């Protein structure tokens, strides 16, 4: 290494430290950019699973290897202009048909039976149901069905795979709620 060419032991030690710090910073940005990212929950649309102020680690590597799956909590780019990210749960995948009848969601004619929201949905949005999910798109909902801006609304719509930043795997803040996100 070039540090060994430096004769002065103090300068050689300083150069070794600088190289080590530089490599650590480079590694941090590579890992953060390609493998993991953090996200901050802003609002209560994913309550009770996620609450306002939660800090999450997003796994970006997962979707390089496989496609998003129903049940995944994902962060996606809301609009290019805003640079804002939304965090929601995938409830339907490409080819599925989603309907909202009598306050309940149906996917492929089966009642959406999840542990995250059993309340009747009062907010229908402005999307016309039923909705057939296009290739490489996903239908997302907040766990708080009546307090979420999600795929029921034209301004969000179905989410293309390209807009998905990563899957929420782990909560790192607040400390009393640290743990895996499901």
pLDDT at 180 over 70: yes
CATH C-level class of 41-180:
mainly beta
Averaged pLDDT, 140-150: 93
pLDDT at 32 over 70: no
pLDDT at 1 over 60: no
At 79, list the tokens: 């609009």
Q: Which residues are catalytic?
A: 45, 88
Q: In this predicted structure, which of 2-6, 32-36, 70-74, 134-138 has the lowest mean pLDDT? A: 32-36
On whether the pTM is more than 0.85, the answer is: no
Averaged pLDDT, 122-147: 94
- Nearest 5°: the CA angle 41, 137, 121 is 60
pLDDT at 51 over 90: yes
pLDDT the model gives residue 11: 74
Q: How far apart are CA 60 and CA 57, in angstroms?
A: 9
Residue bearing the bigger pLDDT, 115 or 3: 115
Q: What percent of the chain has pLDDT over 90?
A: 52
pLDDT at 135 over 80: yes
Strand partners, 131: 98
Q: Are 142 and 52 in contact (CB under 8 A)?
A: no
């Amino acid at each position: 290494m070039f540090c060994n060419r430096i004769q002065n032991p103090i300068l050689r030690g300083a150069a070794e430290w600088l190289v080590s710090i530089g490599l650590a910073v480079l590694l941090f940005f590579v890992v953060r950019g390609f493998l993991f990212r953090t996200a901050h929950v802003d609002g209560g649309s994913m309550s009770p699973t996620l609450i306002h102020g939660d800090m999450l680690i997003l796994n970006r590597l997962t979707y390089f290897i496989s496609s998003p799956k129903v049940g995944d909590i994902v962060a996606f780019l809301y609009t290019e202009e805003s640079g804002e990210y939304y965090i929601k749960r995938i409830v339907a995948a490409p080819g599925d048909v989603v309907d909202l009848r009598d306050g309940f969601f149906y996917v492929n004619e089966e009642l959406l039976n999840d542990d995250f929201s059993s309340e009747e949905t009062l907010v229908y949005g402005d999307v016309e149901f039923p909705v057939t999910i296009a290739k490489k798109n996903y239908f997302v909902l907040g766990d708080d069905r009546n307090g979420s801006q999600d795929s029921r609304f034209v301004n969000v719509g179905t989410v293309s795979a390209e807009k998905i930043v990563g899957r929420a795997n782990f909560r790192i803040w607040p400390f009393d709620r640290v743990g895996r996100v499901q």
